């Protein structure tokens, strides 16, 4: 019993107990921080304006995270959670294989087109910003991108394994190409203010999958 209590409150628990109030504040701040960062970048995100936007004091927000870098890292973690919920978790309802892959593609378009972040895909904006800035933030973003690439590759691989993409043998190659048109459509749409790039990206993926022998009855899940 004593051991169980010890485990239950180890390292995290007693801190979380005290931080219930603070965690709500942090969550509220991070909600705004994600939006601001997608619009102006993680470096352009300033503690002062963030505090003003959330109706708190600058020193209060600063103390909640300790440093700007810690705030940036927390913002990245929060964005990962949102992306995972909206895209990855939401795709788990579909049956494994090509159906789930097509569902994943559609969910990504919904995520980007629906502006889950007002400045477009959070990771596209911030990864490009930090790709030449060594540090913990860059590492966290690179890890997020890597994990996403792995997940996308794995989703393609499951479609291969179930024989639904007979023309394909390199899952990571297709994942690369899908992610490429994802990001291109995201960027072009933001810059031109049009949804047309998304149609181009969808057409590219649809044609590519059809060329690999995918069942056309399943590809309708993309639209």
62 touches DNA (CB under 7 A): yes
The interface with DNA within residues 173-212 (CB under 7 A) comprises none
For a copy of itself (CB under 8 A), the number of binding residues is 43
> Which CB, 45 or 64, lies closer to a copy of itself?
45
Shortest Å, Cβ 209 to a copy of itself: 13
CB of 116 to a copy of itself, least distance (A): 14
The answer to whether residue 41 forms part of the interface with a copy of itself (CB under 8 A) is yes
From the list 21, 93, 114, 193, which residue makes contact with DNA (rule: CB under 7 A)?
21
Alpha carbon of 200 to those of 126, 133, 171, 181, 195: distances in Å?
24, 32, 22, 8, 9
User: What minimum distance in Å lies between the beta carbon of 67 and DNA?
Assistant: 4
- Residue 120 interaction partner, one of DNA, a copy of itself, none, beta carbon < 5-8 Å per kind: a copy of itself
CB 150 within 8 A of CB 142: no
Q: How far is CA 144 from the centre of its chain?
A: 8
- The interface mask with a copy of itself, positions 57-96, x = CB under 8 A, is ----------------------------------------
List Cβ<8 Å contacts ≥24 apart for 52-57: 54/28, 54/29, 56/25, 56/29
Task: Provide, rounded to whole angstroms, the least separation between the CB of residue 23 and a copy of itself.
Answer: 29
Q: For the purposes of burial, counting CB atoms within 10 Å of the CB of 118, is it exposed (0-12), middle (13-18) or buried (19 or more)?
A: exposed
- How many residues are listed for the chain in this entry? 223
Answer positive or negative: Cα dihedral of 15, 20, 25, 29: positive
């Amino acid at each position: 019993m004593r051991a169980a209590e010890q485990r239950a409150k180890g390292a995290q628990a007693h801190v979380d107990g005290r931080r219930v109030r603070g965690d709500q504040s942090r969550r509220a701040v991070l909600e705004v921080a994600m939006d601001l960062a997608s619009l102006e970048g993680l470096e352009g995100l300033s503690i002062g304006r963030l505090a003003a936007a959330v109706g708190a004091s600058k020193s209060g927000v600063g103390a909640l995270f300790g440093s700007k870098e810690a705030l940036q890292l927390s913002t990245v973690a929060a964005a990962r959670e949102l992306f995972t919920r909206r895209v990855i978790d939401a795709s788990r309802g579909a049956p494994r294989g090509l159906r789930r892959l097509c569902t994943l593609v559609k969910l990504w378009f919904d995520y980007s087109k629906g502006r889950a972040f007002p400045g477009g895909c959070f990771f596209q904006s911030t990864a490009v910003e930090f790709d030449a800035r060594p540090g913990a933030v860059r590492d966290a973003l690179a890890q997020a991108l890597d994990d996403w690439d792995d997940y996308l590759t794995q989703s393609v691989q499951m479609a291969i394994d179930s024989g639904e993409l007979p023309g394909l043998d390199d899952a990571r190659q297709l994942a690369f190409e899908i992610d490429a048109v994802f990001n291109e459509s995201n960027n072009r749409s933001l810059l031109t203010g049009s949804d047309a790039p998304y149609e181009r990206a969808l057409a590219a993926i649809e044609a590519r999958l059809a060329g690999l022998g995918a069942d056309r009855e399943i590809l309708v899940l993309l639209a």
